[in-house]
Chain A
């Protein structure tokens, strides 16, 4: 018969051996540089359980080519969630590596309490792209101060794309208090058809009249 009962649970022997022997930080740091992605993933899981492991993992992300390993690192860091994790990931908002940057944004979005103290600083970063990514983080962050921060952006930020991102975000989290600021933004970027469209859509979403 074609159906055969599975008797032995195949074990990922190497990974389990590593786990059972309680490797040290330096052992794990070595494993993190293994050629084998599965071993790097296991090392990442173990490192995230150690407080000293967090900076090691955050540093390693930059050099990690496999999305499966980066994914496990991010998940493990999110689980650890601490200021050290946030500080270790924030640097990647400036990364040229699009995949890593977006993965860092997603991870930060999953740590609302930990990222909140950094939001104001990020929203006034000298680089416009970093300010855009900060707004992107806000779009799913359950932050009570989000509308307030976004109002400041659309009233003061000189860059059209930063303001556009903030308008999109206000369409989700804006309050009736946002409408005045949105109308004012029309005066600043009235020659951008996208901006007019986005502002009108946001106002409509919030429930005001244009």
Chain B
């Protein structure tokens, strides 16, 4: 799934870095600057909800846009994601145009 997202976003002109789980995601956040985060809810070690919550505890990453991705298409899962601090919630399978449009919207980058 990560490879697919990387492919779509790189073709849209973004520079992409990957992390295998929420802990690695937090480590990468400490080491670099990012304009957008796309995170799967179901990750080992630290899931997407927990990752976003932790992210929002840090003043320096309060306003980075976060798009969450999941297989779960229920209202309560969306609410959970938004309560944790996500800006957007996508349900798999994600279409490339959907992903690209959302990425452009949240980073303020037009086509």
Chain A residues with CB under 8 Å of chain B are: 98-99, 102, 105-106, 128-129, 132, 136, 160-161, 164, 168, 192-195, 197-198, 201
Contacts and interface: CB of A to CB of B under 8 A. Distances in A.
Interface in B51-89: 71-72
B71 A161 contact: yes
A161 to B, nearest CB: 5
B28 interface: no
Contacts of B45: 102, 106
Given A194-B4, A197-B4, A129 B72 contact: yes
Nearest to B74: A96
B47 A164 contact: no
Q: Identify which of A102, A128, A136, A161 gathers the most chain B CB atoms within 10 Å of its CB.
A: A102
A105 B44 contact: yes
Interface residues of B, number: 20
B95 A193 contact: yes
Given A132-B71, A201-B3, A98 B49 contact: yes
A98 B71 contact: no
Contacts of B49: 98-99
Given A161-B92, A194-B93, A129 B71 contact: yes
A132 to B, nearest CB: 6
Contact of A193 (B44, B72, B96): B96
Contacts of A105: 44
Nearest to A195: B93
Contact of A99 (B7, B50, B95): B50
A192 B93 contact: yes
B30 interface: no
Nearest to A192: B93
B43 interface: yes
A98 B93 contact: no
B1 interface: yes
A164 B7 CA distance: 16
A201 B6 CA distance: 13
A99 to B, nearest CB: 6
B37 interface: no
A119 to B, nearest CB: 18
B93 A161 contact: yes
Nearest to B95: A193
Given A132-B71, A193-B95, A193-B96, A102 B42 contact: yes
Contacts of B71: 128-129, 132, 161
